[in-house]
Structure 1
Amino acid sequence: MANVKESRVQADADVGGHLVLNFVNTCGGAGKDRDVERLADWDGAIDWATANGVVDSTDRRLFGKVRSRKGRRPPDLLKDLTELREAAHSVFAAIAGGVLPSEEARLRLERDIVEAMHHSTLWIEGRAPVRWTVCPEKAGSTLIKDRLAISASELLSQPMLANVRECGACSWLFLDLSRSRSRRWCSMATCGNRAKAKRHYHTTRAT
């Protein structure tokens, strides 16, 4: 994965249709290479997590206290977060393609999910689906990573996992909820339009 510190221009910030898929889509450019990084630094990662509802202002204040107490450096926290992201991308992309994920990616994702559950409680409320809820006090500086790992675990256990697709042009993942289940592009505004322009170019040259 390259360390290109620039953002991909996109029309829809919720292309993935699920929190963990939006997370894996924070990396990747116009092609299949994971060569454009949107989480350039730890502050940027916190901003993304806040904008996507992973953490709130109270959680953000917690990070500084935990880092000063435990000596966790932002580059280390960012490295852990992006390694989770790439493992999740590898696993979900393999599922989308109907193949087995690599053992390395599966084990990494499994480890992060297990660690997140150690920092979580089982939330039971009436007849609503039971879910794991990460406790900020237990997770500390790994709160963002833990909540995203739990999100990955939830998608892996839901029927909608069968609707995960990889864009035909880039590496981004999304839930295909179209009636025909034949969606090809992460977004018509980006990859879809590029594909149409490419077809038009080749058709024009041929005629």
Structure 2
Amino acid sequence: MSFTWTAHRFSGGALALDVANSVVLRFDPERRIDRFADAVAMVSFAEAANRHGAERQRFGMLVPARPENRGLLIGLREATDQYFRARGRAENRPDLLADLLEAIATILRQPPYKGEYITLDAAAAHSALSLAADPEPDRLKICPNCEWLFLDRSRNRSRTWCDMAVCGNRTKARRHYRRNKEEMRA
């Protein structure tokens, strides 16, 4: 089955969150899909992040993580998800911060990519470190529809969904369907 990284897959607002969101339906064991389980999808993620990612100007051209560092990227992804999900729920978890910082340090200790490019794992580590130091933690939210992590960059911090065109529309359609179904019963 082929998969394409669309702009919607980069709704997190930061590369580290987009990497964390590469697991679809994370909390549904029967339907969970790990997009990075396929090495080709992991490679194409870096290419798509160059087109759609919110931090593409910050990092310049991303190249895929080296094959030997893919496990480190997965470890960073999981530490990022756990820490920022707890932070999004206003849970103080120093142990999760320590795990995140350890994953970041492990990646940043790797030899840099030769040339003017940065690897996906190094860029994601820098992104996660910036997010961890962000003085506005209330901008981090969890989408009530898909449970993806995202940054609310709206002026009044009222953004509800990771992507209005996808999750917002799905939520509104479900609400409309339920309302019409209830009216038919009455």
> Aligned pair 1:190/2:186, yes or no?
no
- Measure the CA separation in 1 of the matches of 2:41 and 2:165: 25
> 5 Å matches for 1:65-104?
74=67, 77-101=69-93, 103=95
- Measure the CA separation in 2 of the matches of 1:49 and 1:81: 12
- Measure the CA separation in 2 of the matches of 1:136 and 1:10: 26
> 5 Å matches for 1:76-155?
77-101=69-93, 103=95, 105-119=96-110, 135-136=112-113, 143-155=119-131
Indicate which of 12, 16, 21 corresponds to 1:16: 12
Deviation at 1:87, TM superposition (A): 1.3
Change (3 A) 1:190 1:41: same
Aligned residue for 2:23, secondary structure, equals coil
Indicate which of 16, 23, 27 corresponds to 1:27: 23
Q: Report how many residues are paired.
A: 170
Which residue does 1:38 correspond to in 2?
35
Deviation at 1:10, TM superposition (A): 5.9
Which residue does 1:199 correspond to in 2?
175
Change (3 A) 1:10 1:102: farther
- Measure the CA separation in 2 of the matches of 1:180 and 1:25: 24
- Measure the CA separation in 2 of the matches of 1:11 and 1:159: 27
Unaligned runs of 5+ in 2: 51-58
Displacement over 3 Å in runs of 4+: 5-11, 31-34, 53-57, 76-79, 116-119
- Measure the CA separation in 1 of the matches of 2:21 and 2:86: 15
- The percent of aligned pairs where both chains have the same amino acid is 31
1:173·1:186 contact (CA, 8 Å) conserved in 2? yes
2:20·2:77 contact (CA, 8 Å) conserved in 1? yes
Aligned residue for 1:52, secondary structure, equals helix
Aligned residue for 1:185, secondary structure, equals coil
Which structure has the larger Rg over C-alpha atoms? 1
- Measure the CA separation in 2 of the matches of 1:43 and 1:10: 15
Aligned residue for 1:165, secondary structure, equals strand
Which residue does 2:49 correspond to in 1?
52
Aligned residue for 2:24, secondary structure, equals coil
Deviation at 1:202, TM superposition (A): 1.5
Change (3 A) 1:85 1:110: same
Deviation at 1:190, TM superposition (A): 1.8
Aligned residue for 2:181, secondary structure, equals helix
Write out per-residue CA displacement over residues 35-74 of structure 1, whole angstroms, 9 at most, x where no aligned residue.
Answer: 12222322321221233246858x56x94xxxxxxxxxx4
Which residue does 2:55 correspond to in 1?
none
Root-mean-square deviation (Å): 3.2
2:15·2:123 contact (CA, 8 Å) conserved in 1? no
TM-score of the two chains, using structure 1 as the length reference? 0.67
Which residue does 2:54 correspond to in 1?
none
Change (3 A) 1:144 1:178: closer
- Measure the CA separation in 2 of the matches of 1:162 and 1:7: 33
